[in-house]
Structure 1
Amino acid sequence: MNERDWLILKTLYEKKNITKTAESLYVSQPSITKRIQQIEQEYGRTLVVRGTKGVQFTPEGEYLAKCADEMLERLYHIKDQVLNIGLEVSGTLRLGVSNYITRHKLPLLLKLFGERFPKVNYKVSTGWSRDVFNLAYNQEVHVGIVRGDYNWSGPKHLLFEEKLCVVSKEYVGLHELPFMPRIEYETDNLLKTTIDNWWTGTFSQPPLLGMEVDKADTCKEMVLNGLGYGILPSVLIENHDDLYLINLEDESGNPLVRRTWLLYREETLQSKAANEFVQFVRTIDFKNSL
């Protein structure tokens, strides 16, 4: 079995679905099915069966799937060690990055880093900050970039912080919010909890939900068109002087902020590519230069 086989087993065990596994690994469903069959032939055992609830693993298959994390980590470590033997910074840098940073910051960041270290390749995993945190915690990526204050025991570096604010096209008084249509959007649980706690500590009635959208960028566009107000991180609306803002504050009058962090482990720095990336990110003005 090679690295790809272990990754297929790991992902299929997590997703319990051939289609979702294929989408996650950017391969076709028949390719996944064929490779599973080849692995089964190699071991002479049935590893997975399809049922009404999706893919189910046999005891043999479950054992191999649980070995996948250890095997992949070992393979990644071997690659890093081999690539570090030479003087050049090269190899694959595995990054976990939150959705917003991926869309708005990461392309230019990798362009600038790539100009300095052109032989580094990238494997980028994106998602909600909680998902990225888990990738970094399980050492599936060298470095994670998350938005929010997660309980991380390893080294971390503050990239920037932003205020949370009520955003509207027309002036709205704070006392009017419960009676105005609010545009809700999908976000990670940490930010949602912060906003919900602020609301319940400020008002006695629930918000009037006028619309639900997929992400904060969409919410901003709806606000720009006067369809309601949103509660957004300030970084999304810094270039919109035509919008009205009310900064959220806690019970002591301190502004509520959302911080963006670079997370990694000390052993990560054994990889030259990861070490150079961490040092590079620490030297730039992440908020204003990207």
Structure 2
Amino acid sequence: MNYQDWEMLATLYSTENITQAAQRLFLSQPTLTSRIKKLEDYYDIQIIMRKRRGVTFTPEGEKLAEHAINMLKEQRKIEEKLHNIGGKVAGTLRVGVSNFFALNKMPKLLRLFKQEYPNVEFQVVSGWSSEMHRLILNNDVHISFIKGDYPWKEQKELLYEENICIASPWDFEWATLPSLPRIDYYTDERMKNLVDIWWYNNYKQSPNINIQVNQVETCKEMVINGLGYAILADLVVRPHPELITKPLYNHLGDPVTRKTWMYYYEDSLKLNIVHAFVSFIRTLDVKKL
């Protein structure tokens, strides 16, 4: 097997879907299927089996995919060591980013960093904070930008803290909130628990959720268009002064907040590219970007 085979197997193993794997690899589906067949013929094994939706790996295929993943990791380590020689800042920085941070902060950060270090490339994965936590735990990324507190014994730095608030297109009294239409959005479990704890500490009734969307940005647009209120972080709605926003407070009278952190391993600072990026982030007021 060569590098392309490793990459193909690793991608297919993670997606379990030929269409998605082909899209990620910029290949046609017939090309991907043909390359799998050639590997099966070479090793005289069956690598994948079709299922109703997607594919599953045979035991032999799993062994081959695990080997491919390990080989890709070794290749990456070698490339990082080579780029680290001579103190130059070059190579590929792998970053995991929570969804809001990816949309509102990351493009500016990468542009500014690229201006200072033009020989750096980026591999960015975005998703819920829980997913970004898993990526850094598995060493799949150098750095993760994560909202909320997750178990972590390595290095982390607080970037900013923001209030959780009610954002509404109209003024309201707190007592009337359970009867008003609420727009909710899918988020990670920690944010959901934070909001649910506050709600049931203050109200006996369940919220009147009449719209459920996938993204916080879609939720915000629904609020802007007068379809209901939402509970979200204040940075999301700060650019919209026309909305009524009121911060949440817990039973002790303290504001309900959510922190955004940068997670990384101490050992990863030995890589010039990681050391340069962490040092760069420390010079910025990320919240104001």
Per the shorter chain, which TM-score range? over 0.9
1:121 Cα deviation (Å)?
Answer: 0.8
Indicate whether 1:277 and 2:277 are aligned. Answer: yes
Cα distance between partner residues in 1 of 2:144 and 2:21: 22
Residues 77-115 of structure 1: per-residue CA shift (max 9 Å, x gap): 111001111332111111111111111111111111011
Partner of 1:233: 233
CA 215–51 in structure 1, closer or farther in 2 if over 3 Å, else same: closer
Partner of 1:162: 162
Partner of 1:216: 216
Alignment-mate amino acid for residue 221 of structure 2: E
SS at match of 2:60: helix
Alignment-mate amino acid for residue 67 of structure 1: H
CA 282–68 in structure 1, closer or farther in 2 if over 3 Å, else same: farther
Partner of 2:197: 197
Alignment-mate amino acid for residue 261 of structure 1: W
Cα distance between partner residues in 2 of 1:69 and 1:267: 22
Alignment-mate amino acid for residue 182 of structure 1: R
Map 1:1-290 to 2 at 5 A.
1-52=1-52, 54-288=54-288, 290=289
SS at match of 1:159: strand
Cα distance between partner residues in 1 of 2:102 and 2:209: 28
Cα distance between partner residues in 1 of 2:175 and 2:55: 52
Cα distance between partner residues in 2 of 1:261 and 1:5: 36
1:117 Cα deviation (Å)?
Answer: 0.4
Alignment-mate amino acid for residue 36 of structure 1: I
Alignment-mate amino acid for residue 206 of structure 1: S
1:25 Cα deviation (Å)?
Answer: 4.1
CA 196–153 in structure 1, closer or farther in 2 if over 3 Å, else same: same
Cα distance between partner residues in 1 of 2:21 and 2:137: 22
* Percentage of matched positions with identical amino acids: 42
Cα distance between partner residues in 2 of 1:4 and 1:283: 39
CA 51–243 in structure 1, closer or farther in 2 if over 3 Å, else same: closer
Which blocks of at least 5 consecutive residues in structure 2 are unaligned?
none
Cα distance between partner residues in 1 of 2:194 and 2:209: 18
Cα distance between partner residues in 1 of 2:80 and 2:106: 23
Cα distance between partner residues in 1 of 2:59 and 2:224: 55
Conserved? CA contact 2:87–2:272, under 8 Å: no
Cα distance between partner residues in 2 of 1:187 and 1:281: 26
Considering only aligned residues, what root-mean-square deviation do their CA atoms show, in Å?
A: 1.7
10-19 or 108-117: which moved more?
10-19
SS at match of 2:45: coil
1:262 Cα deviation (Å)?
Answer: 0.7
1:182 Cα deviation (Å)?
Answer: 0.1
Residues 40-75 of structure 1: per-residue CA shift (max 9 Å, x gap): 234232211213353122221111223344322221
CA 123–21 in structure 1, closer or farther in 2 if over 3 Å, else same: same
Residues 162-212 of structure 1: per-residue CA shift (max 9 Å, x gap): 100011111111111110000111222211121112112211111111212
221-230 or 28-37: which moved more?
28-37
74-83 or 245-254: which moved more?
245-254
Alignment-mate amino acid for residue 91 of structure 1: G
SS at match of 1:126: strand
Which blocks of at least 5 consecutive residues in structure 1 are unaligned?
none
Q: TM-score normalized by structure 1?
A: 0.93
